[in-house]
Amino acid sequence: SVKTTALRLSLCHRSWFQEAFNITSKEGSSWDVALNQAAVEALYSAAYIEDYLDCVENLPDDVQRNLSQLRELDVKYQEVLAELEQQQGLLSRRDPDVGRKKVMLQIQHSLIKSQELGDDKLQLLQQIQDLIENKVRQLDQDYRNLDHEPETREAKRSRRQRGHDDEQAPAPHPTCGRRQPKKKRRRGASNSAGHQQGHQQGQQGHQQRGGGVPSPAEPPIDPDEPTYCLCEQVSFGEMICCDNEECAIEWFHFSCVMLTTKPKGRWYCPRCRGDRSNQMKPKGS
């Protein structure tokens, strides 16, 4: 097939290029990446050519099938016209033996049949037009995808590289029980001192739970950093979110709500729960 031929040609060109310039292929090298990219682009081009050839080869068969049906309808239409001419001749003779009412009914039947055949011919012509337009639209779309394919692959490689760098970089915050808390607006300027004190207490409590191991240099305290939980401190350690969408606090520290692991199913905070932690308190109670 065209794809197999293109793959063989790309591999042959790659081997010849390496031998001609005495290049040793190393995984991840710029030469190897460039040659692999050329091979992939050759495969995409071969796939487009193969689809184009299939479309061009199959199009005449599909159109010919509809044209054959159109020719058959045209033959039937000519037969109906011949019947109409014959019936019109019977009416023009004014022969008393000929029943005019019967002939008029035959003419009406022939006219209805001719109209149905004409509608069928128009429908076949519309099918032929739609078939050609669909093939053209498909080829245009494949061609546009072929032009944009190198940019798409380059964007994917950039995203993969950024994801690899993010995995190697240290996490700025500890993991939460369900998801990281969203940034909130400031509760008020009067709480800025409480934010700062809560941040210091949270860091000290976190060091005590970790066995007294000194933490690295702390970043400057942000007075606008939001506070969470019943303790009204900043985010630290593992946290869990209340499943009540109307909860005013939303996020809670594991230690403040007596949790050691993430619970299964829904979880509601002490202010929103009913008799159990997985049941929400009825509204108005």
> Which residue ranges are tagged as binding site?
229, 231, 242, 247, 253, 256, 269, 272
3 state SS of 130: helix
Distance CA 150, CA 127 (A): 36
31 and 23 Cβ atoms separated by less than 8 Å: yes
Backbone torsion region of residue 164, taken as left when φ is above 0, otherwise alpha when ψ lies between -120 and 50, otherwise beta: alpha
Q: Which two tokens stand for residue 2?
A: 């065209």
DSSP 60-120: HHHHHHHHHHHHHHHHHHHHHHHHHHHHHHHHHHT-TTS-HHHHHHHHHHHHHHHHHHHHH
80 and 112 Cβ atoms separated by less than 8 Å: no
CA distances from 163 to 7, 151, 157, 159, 178 (A): 30, 18, 10, 6, 21
Place of tokens 């996020």: 251
Q: Which two tokens stand for residue 265?
A: 């199913």
∠ CA 225-231-233 to the nearest 5 degrees? Answer: 20
∠ CA 270-274-279 to the nearest 5 degrees? Answer: 100
**Binding site membership for Zn(2+): which residues?**
229, 231, 242, 247, 253, 256, 269, 272
CA distances from 70 to 11, 64, 123, 128 (A): 49, 10, 10, 10
